[in-house]
Structure 1
Amino acid sequence: MATHPGGLTAPGATALAPRPAVRTRHLVRRFGDRAVLKGLDLTVAPGEFTALLGRSGSGKSTLLRAVARLDHTVEGSGELTVPERVSLSFQDSRLLPWLRLLDNVTLGLRGPGARRRGLTALAEVGLEGRDRSWPHELSGGEQQRAALARALVREPELLLADEPFGALDALTRIRMHALLRELHARHRPAVLLVTHDVDEAVELADRVLVLEDGRISVDLTIDLPAPRSRRDARFQEYRDTLLTALGVHGPTAPTGTKDSDDHHA
């Protein structure tokens, strides 16, 4: 399988055609005799916010690791194209406890502007003045804010997020959703968000995919203005469509339904 950081221009395309932020063709990943990704095709446009849903074991995190170039055992006769600058965000903030907050955010950055960039990133996520704090002095929500700052300080072309809000309480999740929308609008990276929360996917994403049996089974464009209200009838229509695709009867499912095995999804 050929990996092409920075992307490729398709034959016949003009020089002005934007390169995709993610492009996979015929991607395969096996664990023993079990194929998790089965010739998966996916294209994510620059600046596009895409959410990925799927039942437990459907391969969401496997796909994310492949796109992050962390899994070198992915097979395929096609291609895996990603940009040079890729950042990751996880459910666990992954802050190093022996480093103060600014040093965590700028970890790996070089050059005289690293400190300034780190301070700017902390201010953007509402942590101005906390640069000397230790990770254990922060709440869970603040730690995730710091993780977002660390991801965005590198000015990524692609942000990969694996259930970054899954461990947060409901009120903190709402605040983090608003923050992520604001940061995406400001920095415009492409985002590939893995989530089990259907409402979160509809609220945040331009496009929601459902992964089933190793392939994309649903590709749904979310045409709603921001900020989005869960009371909007169209929000409920998108939600019901996705829940039905996940094997949950949408109209009877409570708000905040996740695509977990508890709901046969």
Structure 2
Amino acid sequence: MATHTGGLTRAARPPHEPPPPAVSTRRLVRRFADRAVLKDVDLDLAPGEFTALLGRSGSGKSTLLRAVARLDHGVEGSGELVVPDRVSLSFQDSRLLPWLRVLDNVVLGLTGSGARERGLTALEEVGLAGRDRSWPHELSGGEQQRAALARALVHDPELLLADEPFGALDALTRIRMHGLLRELYERHRPAVLLVTHDVDEAVELADRVLVLEDGRISLDITVDLPTPRSRRDPRFQEYRDTLLTALGVTTPAAPPYDSQEEKSHVPHV
């Protein structure tokens, strides 16, 4: 069976065939001098899938994210790198331009007559309604990251790449930002690739967690837990222990988690 659109004939996908991946890499390689940081990485991310990427320092997590973002032109490989047209990035530093007001930062690069209205809506979604005329230095660190999320989502991305976006925040602000990111993800449903050192953050937010070791994906697990997730859930601890073991970390079970307390005992890798 075929569908006809504007004079073009397109083969229809069988009803039970899954959609093509939002991201697909085959035999991705990245070298720095004589050291291979990424070694024949194969990765598929489904549309709307929330994936976290863990690994020890220097394992190549940010390198892989930059490759997927097409920011690294030194990537090699005999295979392919397929990504969507609409990709947004979020970093540990909010990267707001200090000479632009908050709304102007959010709609930077956005065209069309409704750009400012879309920016105002995005600011409202992240809890910054009424702050559109503020300067970046007038916002707290958490508010700056909220503005950065608004800027990422206002473009309606098919893929959101986030490189430790909460790493510079204090523990309580980070907890609030976790809830906000998951809420925005549920609302907009982009594919997400989150790079993090925080094992608990990965289990709390992602539906799939990858471990990168020695330039290759050494573990790929699905997190089958309902949301919102409780760190008191024994299954949460099972996922946590599995990931820590894969990362070569041996640690006692985490103490009971109180959302109002700082995560002083959360291991980072």
Deviations, residues 166-194 of structure 1 (Å, cap 9, x unaligned): 00001000100000000000000000000
| Distance change (3 Å), C-alpha of 1:14 and 1:78 | farther
SS where residue 166 of structure 1 aligns? coil
Moved more, 19-28 or 143-152: 19-28
Does the C-alpha gap of structure 1 residues 225 and 17 become closer, same or farther in structure 2, counting only changes over 3 Å?
Answer: closer
Match of 1:186 in 2: 187
1:142-188 Cα distance to aligned partner (Å, 9 max, x none): 00000000000000000000000000001000100000000000000
Query: Which residue is 2:266 aligned to?
Result: 256
Partner of 2:214: 213
How far is 1:250 from its partner? 3.9
Q: Return the offset for 1:50.
A: 0.2
> Residue 239 of structure 1 contacts residue 250 of structure 1 at CA under 8 Å; is this kept in 2?
no
Q: Hey, what's the Cα distance between the residues in 1 that align with 2:134 and 2:27? A: 46
Contact 2:237 2:253 in 1 (8 A): no
Q: Secondary structure at the match of 1:251?
A: coil
- Partner SS state of residue 227, structure 1: coil
Query: What is the TM-score normalised by the length of structure 1?
Result: 0.91
Quick check: 1:244–1:250 contact (8 Å CA) kept in 2?
no
Provide the rounded CA distance (Å) in 2 between the counterparts of 1:34 and 1:72.
Answer: 17
2:224 alignment partner in structure 1: 223
Indicate whether 1:85 and 2:86 are aligned. Answer: yes
Report how far residue 253 of structure 1 moved. 6.5
In the TM superposition, structure 1's runs of 4+ consecutive aligned residues that sit over 2 Å from their partners are: 13-17, 250-255
Indicate conservation of the 8 Å contact 1:240/1:251, yes or no.
Answer: no
Q: Percent identity?
A: 83
SS where residue 96 of structure 1 aligns? coil
Tell me, in whole angstroms, the C-alpha distance in 1 between the residues paired with 2:152 and 2:45.
19
C-alpha separation between the residues in 2 aligned to 1:228 and 1:251?
A: 20
Alignment of 1:138 onto 2:148:
no
CA distance 1:185–1:252, change in 2 (3 Å): closer
Partner of 2:200: 199
TM-superposition CA deviations, 1:73-105 (whole Å, max 9, x none):
100111001000000000000000000000000
Paired residue for 2:3?
none
Residue 94 of structure 1: aligned partner:
95
SS at match of 1:155: coil
Question: Any gaps of 5 or more consecutive residues in structure 2?
Answer: 1-12, 256-264
Separation in 2 of the partners of 1:40 and 1:111? Answer: 38
Deviation at 1:252, TM superposition (A): 5.2
Equivalent-residue separation in structure 2 for 1:212 and 1:37 (angstroms):
9
Q: 1:17 Cα deviation (Å)?
A: 3.9
Deviation, structure 1 residue 27? 0.3
Distance change in 2, residues 1:162/1:122 (3 Å): same
2 CA distance for matches of 1:55 and 1:130? 38
Q: What is the aligned partner in structure 1 of residue 59 from structure 2?
A: 58
The answer on whether the counterparts of 1:198 and 1:242 sit within 8 Å (CA) in structure 2 is yes
Query: How far 1:251 sits from its partner (Å)?
Result: 3.2
C-alpha deviations, 1:45-77, integer Å up to 9, x for none? 000000000011100000000000000110011
What is the number of residues matched between the two proteins? Answer: 249
Shift of 1:18: 1.2
**Given residue 257 of structure 1, which amino acid in structure 2 is its aligned partner?**
P
Shift of 1:256: 1.3
Are the equivalent residues in 1 in contact too, given 2:86–2:156 (CA < 8 A)?
yes
1:38 aligns with 2:39: yes
- Partner secondary structure for residue 52 of structure 1: strand
Q: Answer whether contact 2:98 2:135 (CA < 8 A) is retained.
A: yes
The match for 1:3 is: none
Q: What are the ranges of 5 or more consecutive residues in structure 1 without an aligned counterpart?
A: 1-12, 260-265
Show the 5 A alignment for 1:113-128. 113-128=114-129
Alpha-carbon separation, structure 2, partners of 1:187 and 1:43: 20
**Which secondary structure does the structure 2 equivalent of 1:19 belong to?**
coil
Shift of 1:14: 4.5
Normalized against structure 2, the TM-score is what?
0.90
2-structure distance, mates of 1:107, 1:204: 28
Instruction: Find the counterpart in structure 1 of residue 9 from structure 2.
Output: none
Q: What residue in structure 1 maps to residue 160 of structure 2?
A: 159
